[in-house]
Amino acid sequence: MTSIYKKILEKSNSYEKDTADFLVSMVSTPSFSGKEKDVIEVIKKEMLKVGFDEVRIDGLGSIIGRIGNGPRVIAFDAHIDTVYPGDMSLWSFDPFQGHIKDGKVWGRGTVDQKGGMAAMVYAAKIIKELDLNDEFTIYFTGTVMEEDCDGLCWQYLINEEKIKPEMVVITEPTNMNIYRGHRGRMEMTVEVQGLSCHGSAPERGDNAIYKISRVALEIEKLNARLKDDAFLGKGTVTVTQVFFSSPSQCAVPDAATIQLDRRLTFGETKESAVAEVQEAARLAGYPDAKVKVLQYTEKAYTGKVYPTDKYFPTWVVGEDSVWLKNAVAAYTETLGKKPVVDKWTFSTNAIAIAGMNDIPCIGMGPGNEVYAHAPNEACPVEHLSQSVAFYAGFVAKLNKK
């Protein structure tokens, strides 16, 4: 008797061309963050074509396809916005003319991460055709605005749409490995006040740029003191921008601000990170410096503004997680090889799902992350069909097939 996992792999191979063609049509429909309306229509058409039970679009503009109506809920997520192409002279082809050549699909978003979306949709088709699922209501979400503010779309899905899965598969590129965490991050500013006066008599004033410079040097020292973690790596902080205000070019400036990029490792939170920066300002001699976490307030294509702090918490799924064990077993049985279990370098929607809501996430997606945000982005076709097989195999495994 042919095992169900072998049948899944055969099916995913038979749909390889359809999966790649669907990816081409998504890549050929640009969808920068906040401008995803057209590609959502492309995805909706494909979901209806392959036989999803329900397809709808939420208030922020993300698409939610559902199959099954079992008592338990799980989800697969792909963000479907992309970054801009950057310097066009670095591309050897038009990034929005998706095409298949030399065993790869080429174009902006093939790796990050419309490839994951394409694979999810064809996995759903196979789950239905092979009758792999009784236990779960499964949502397949094509989410918006991730490149600008990761996790915002899932804060919306969880808090406003009340979708609360037990586990979510994040289909961002893993180069066909299985990932179980990544560092978090946050964006902060530190502001100090000075006193302006004529530049010809600086002793009358209090120069805010000198003050913020001392704070910046304390931030450099803070970076050296930050925690390390064996799996996720070290927390980091760096100054990324400097701003000031002054009545004239011939005046002592009356305020200055630095912006910080903070990467958070295991055990570091918004509260701990803010407290450390406040302490750095105190060490510089300015306990009154104002430390702020920046806010994201951009508008979705639906017109909705859903503000959030630019705080993206760290998450890790333990090595002993039952979800992870099932994912590794499904991968091994479907693809006939053992996966490498590792972590992402970059950040994903899991910061909201796992980091804010403690819902375990499993990462597996087509493409190599080194091509994300890079020119001449391309995803191997073989990764697409293998991802299709893994997603369907994982659902089969969770249903104890």
Q: Which residues bind Zn ion (CB under 5 A)?
A: 112-113, 172
- What would the DSSP string read from start to end of 79-133? E--B-----GGG-SS-TTS-EEETTEEESTTIIIIIHHHHHHHHHHHHHHHTT--
| Closer Cβ to Zn ion, 268 or 369, answer by number | 369
Minimum distance of Zn ion from residue 352's CB (angstroms): 14
Minimum distance of Zn ion from residue 294's CB (angstroms): 21
CA distance 276 to 272: 6
**What is the Cα Rg of the chain in Å?**
24
| Closer Cβ to Zn ion, 39 or 252, answer by number | 39
Minimum distance of Zn ion from residue 367's CB (angstroms): 10
As beta bridge partners, residue 54 has 66
How far does the chain reach from its first CA to its final CA, in angstroms?
14
| Closer Cβ to Zn ion, 172 or 377, answer by number | 172
Minimum distance of Zn ion from residue 148's CB (angstroms): 11
Cβ neighbours for 202, distance < 8 A, ≥ 6 positions apart: 252
CA distance 6 to 4: 5
| Closer Cβ to Zn ion, 80 or 341, answer by number | 80
CB atoms within 10 A of CB 325: 12
Cα–Cα nearest to 300, from 177, 199, 157, 171: 157
347-to-51, 52, 82 alpha-carbon distances in Å: 32, 29, 14
| Closer Cβ to Zn ion, 136 or 315, answer by number | 315
Minimum distance of Zn ion from residue 342's CB (angstroms): 16
In the complex, which residue's CB is closest to Zn ion?
112
Which residues have a catalytic role annotated?
Answer: 81, 146
